[in-house]
Structure 1
Amino acid sequence: MARITIDREQATLTAEFQGLDKLWTLKSSLEIPLAHVRGATHDPGIARGWMGLRFAGTHVPGVITAGHFRHDGEHLFWYVKNPDKAVVIQLADANTYDRLVIEVDDPRATVALIERSIPRD
């Protein structure tokens, strides 16, 4: 599971990966400027569909999807073992990813945290 934190002072969202999860995702963390976060949703169904083409990472169907994937022209970062806990974070103006699909401990609380933290015009 990833830990999502918001640093309001630095205006960043950070997803941290622990232990072997760093190996599967090929990353220890992702840091995204809050200005690039458009929103978040709890979406268990997304992890049950086709993830796209894997560029780097791990995919064992029904076990884990982790790393960089490309689907319908979008660059996605995946880290999901349990689809019921998947949160989708939509990004704009991002240099690397269009969406993050990340498993978290409490999807509803994570979505609420992200939604109340992103800047609104």
Structure 2
Amino acid sequence: MPSITLAGSSLNVEMSFWERVGSLSSNISVPLTAVVHATDDPTFIRHGLGLRTGGTGMPGFVAEGHFRKNGNRIFANWRRGEQVVVIDLQGQKWDKLAIGCPDAQALATQINTAVAGLAG
């Protein structure tokens, strides 16, 4: 599963070689100022990511790559059994990141706290 880290003023999504191959993407780094909000949303993947425009996907098992839904550009890297954290972005290549992780609620809280720290 990808690793999400907060380093300085950026949010980084680091993927293994095979995750990068499956998603047709490289590691992602966005400034924290571009992060609007992060949520623990267990239904996000289940309700469908829309049209896959690149990457690997098998509904209910794996979602890696580029998707479009309701005008949003979504990058997903999730596998069955993982929780999903959804990160809303502004002014970036992606409108949303849907990333698999072991504890989405804790990760969303950590991201939102870091974003709030920039504003306050």
Retained in 2: the 8 A contact 1:90–1:99?
Answer: yes
Where does residue 102 of structure 2 map in the other structure?
105
Q: Which amino acid aligns with 1:114?
A: I
Gaps of 5+ in 1: none
* SS of 1:47 mapped into structure 2: coil
Where does residue 66 of structure 1 map in the other structure?
64
Following TM superposition, by how much is the alpha carbon of 1:84 offset from its aligned partner in structure 2, in angstroms?
5.2
* SS of 2:119 mapped into structure 1: coil
Following TM superposition, by how much is the alpha carbon of 1:31 offset from its aligned partner in structure 2, in angstroms?
0.4
Choose from 15, 18, 23 the match for 1:17. Answer: 15
* SS of 2:44 mapped into structure 1: helix
Q: Percent identity?
A: 32
Q: Which amino acid aligns with 1:56?
A: G
Where does residue 54 of structure 1 map in the other structure?
52
CA RMSD in angstroms comes to 1.5
CA distance in 2, matches of 1:120, 1:25: 32
Distance 1:35 1:79, change over 3 A: same
Gaps of 5+ in 2: none
Count how many residue pairs are aligned between Structure 1 and Structure 2: 118
CA distance in 2, matches of 1:26, 1:106: 25
CA distance in 1, matches of 2:48, 2:60: 12
CA distance in 2, matches of 1:19, 1:84: 19
Following TM superposition, by how much is the alpha carbon of 1:22 offset from its aligned partner in structure 2, in angstroms?
1.6
CA distance in 1, matches of 2:91, 2:81: 27
CA distance in 2, matches of 1:108, 1:42: 5
Q: Which amino acid aligns with 1:43?
A: D
Q: For each residue in 1:80-112, what CA deviation from the matched residue of structure 2 results, as whole angstroms up to 9, or x when unmatched?
A: 113650000011122x11100110122122112
Q: TM-score, normalised by structure 2?
A: 0.90
Retained in 2: the 8 A contact 1:59–1:65?
Answer: yes
